[in-house]
Amino acid sequence: MARLPYKKTLEEFDFTFQPSVDKKVIHEMATMSFVYQAVNLVFLGPPGVGKSHLAVALATAALSQGYSAYFVNVAELMDELKRAQEENRLNARMRKYLRPKLLVIDEVGYLPFDPVAASLFFQLISTRYEQGSVILTSNKGLGDWGQMFGDAVLATAILDRLLHHAHIVNIRGASYRMRDKMRSGVYGSPAREGSATV
């Protein structure tokens, strides 16, 4: 029911490969004190560094501790909310994303938000504010959010709610997907470009 896209656990995460991720901090998150306190987690970084893996693993931990959780890709989320608004059933659809104690919103930043989507996203984040946790993953640094939402004022309002009670994990470093290729020398040294900055 949580619609997790695949099975990943924290035990499967190689912290030695990604030294910018503090194992102690992630294991503290796995106690779910952040869910209890309706604190948000924001995982930032370039593709392949483990953002979705950590989000799925933490959602799995939440479920095993009895919290409701739901995983959604941001593109699917925005499509659903926009369609619901057009069909005058936005409130019912919003409830689906307000009800879980933990909502994972994956892959924010790959596509820009049009004005309708940006406004719906703001509604969702501000209604969940201090009510339930969000884990958000993004390949865009927070400084790029104004451009991503096409509206600096709205982006600031979203970040204000999202970050008031939040932990930001900024993952720098190489893509795990490229690990074997880098080892075999296909790519030379790890690519650093595109690292998110706050």
Residues that bind ligand ADP (CB under 6 A): 8, 12-14, 17-18, 45, 47-53, 137, 176-177
Q: How far is the CB of 147 from ligand ADP (least distance, A)?
A: 20
Note whether 113 and 78 are within 8 A (CB).
yes
Choosing among Mg ion, ligand ADP, none, which partner's interface includes residue 48 (Cβ < 5 to 8 Å by kind)?
ligand ADP
Residue nearest to Mg ion (CB): 52
Return the residue of 40, 52, 60, 175 that touches Mg ion, per CB under 5 A: 52
Choosing among Mg ion, ligand ADP, none, which partner's interface includes residue 73 (Cβ < 5 to 8 Å by kind)?
none
**Closest CB to Mg ion among residues 52, 175:** 52
Choosing among Mg ion, ligand ADP, none, which partner's interface includes residue 128 (Cβ < 5 to 8 Å by kind)?
none
Measured over the CA atoms of residue 27, residue 29, residue 31 and residue 33, the dihedral's sign is positive
- Residue 24 main-chain phi, psi, to 5 deg: -65, -40
Note whether 196 and 138 are within 8 A (CB).
yes
Note whether 178 and 194 are within 8 A (CB).
no
Q: How far is the CB of 8 from ligand ADP (least distance, A)?
A: 5
- 18 binds Mg ion per the rule CB under 5 A: no
**Closest CB to ligand ADP among residues 27, 83:** 27
Q: How far is the CB of 72 from Mg ion (least distance, A)?
A: 13
Q: How far is the CB of 52 from ligand ADP (least distance, A)?
A: 3
Strand, helix or coil for residue 129: coil
Note whether 194 and 44 are within 8 A (CB).
no
Which parts of the chain fold into alpha helices (H)?
23-29, 33-36, 51-64, 74-86, 90-98, 115-128, 145-149, 152-164, 179-183
Q: How far is the CB of 38 from Mg ion (least distance, A)?
A: 24
Determine the Cα–Cα distance for residues 71 and 61; give it in Å rounded to an integer.
Answer: 13
Choosing among Mg ion, ligand ADP, none, which partner's interface includes residue 36 (Cβ < 5 to 8 Å by kind)?
none
- Residues near Mg ion (CB under 5 A) are 52
